[in-house]
Amino acid sequence: MDHPRPTLRCAREDLKLPIPPIDDPLDEIDHPLLAKAAEQLTDDTTRHERIRAIDDEILFKVKVRRWRGAIWTEESLPWLIAAGVREDGSLDDFYASLAVDAQAARARYNAEHAKPLVTGTYCGHLLPNQDDYERYQLEAGTRLIRHLSESVRVLIRASLHDGREHSTGFSTFVLGVQVRADNGHETYVAVRITGSVPDNIIYLVLDLVPGCDRDGWYPEPRLPGRPLYGAEQAWSNLMDPKVASTLLS
């Protein structure tokens, strides 16, 4: 299950938060309601309480301090679609108001459409829209860069310890790294990609290798100890030994 993220409308209107830039994913917004939702969704022992007054969609309650929210899940991606603050002296006024608004939305929908809804409520206007999905897709680049950056460093550290090639798989390709140090004088690093990837991914991966001159990468016909196999591409460079030492420590 992915981390819950608010819809753009919920973030702006309900949580009263500014929309962060694309390189700050919405599922990383620091808010107690989102943190509580993540805790509930990742804990198999926590009972998920459905909002029974809503019958056109399956929504679950999330509560923390005075905050109240409604979670809607699409496959493995949960969305915070509505949020509010409990008023003093009232236990569940947010959910009562949500139900009243959904009933009014149903009445408006039926007045505007020839085929009426048979449910008692309508929450379609609260669900993620095209802007939300486009934002999610744009954030995919940030998520990939972070994953690549961490993976490159993990592979380099592992190879620095034993001089062997270490690899990890992504959705469409396999990334391999081999580092060999020569008594602290030179540190050779080779990067191998197996699979069909666009050139911009290759350049991105090479730029993420620390301590290397970005203009010092050269295509390699083989890796140390073995030739390249089909669908493999490889490049080599020299890494600053001081950077390599820092990575090890």
Pairing of strands 218-219, 232-239: antiparallel
Residue 220's pLDDT band (boundaries 50, 70, 90)?
very high
Tell me the per-residue pLDDT of 56-97, one tens digit each, with 9 for 90 and over: 999 999 999 999 999 999 988 999 999 999 775 665 589 999
CB 94 within 8 A of CB 104: no
Which helix (H) or strand (E) segment holds residue 188: the answer is strand 186-194
Q: Any alpha helices (H) in 163-238, and if so which ranges? A: 199-207
Tell me the per-residue pLDDT of 92-129, one tens digit each, with 9 for 90 and over: 589 999 999 999 999 999 999 999 999 999 999 999 99
What is the mean pLDDT of the segment spanning 214-230?
Answer: 90
CA angle 192, 193, 199 (to 5 degrees): 120
Which helix (H) or strand (E) segment holds residue 82: the answer is strand 77-85
Q: What does the alpha-carbon distance between residue 37 and residue 156 come to, in Å, rounded to a whole number? A: 35
**pLDDT in the model for residue 184:** 54
**pLDDT in the model for residue 199:** 79
Q: What does the alpha-carbon distance between residue 203 and residue 94 come to, in Å, rounded to a whole number? A: 50
Tokens of 175: 């990334």
**pLDDT in the model for residue 223:** 87
Mean pLDDT, the chain, rounded, equals 91
Tell me the per-residue pLDDT of 11-60, one tens digit each, with 9 for 90 and over: 999 999 999 999 899 999 999 999 999 999 888 777 889 999 999 999 99
pLDDT over 60 (residue 170)? yes
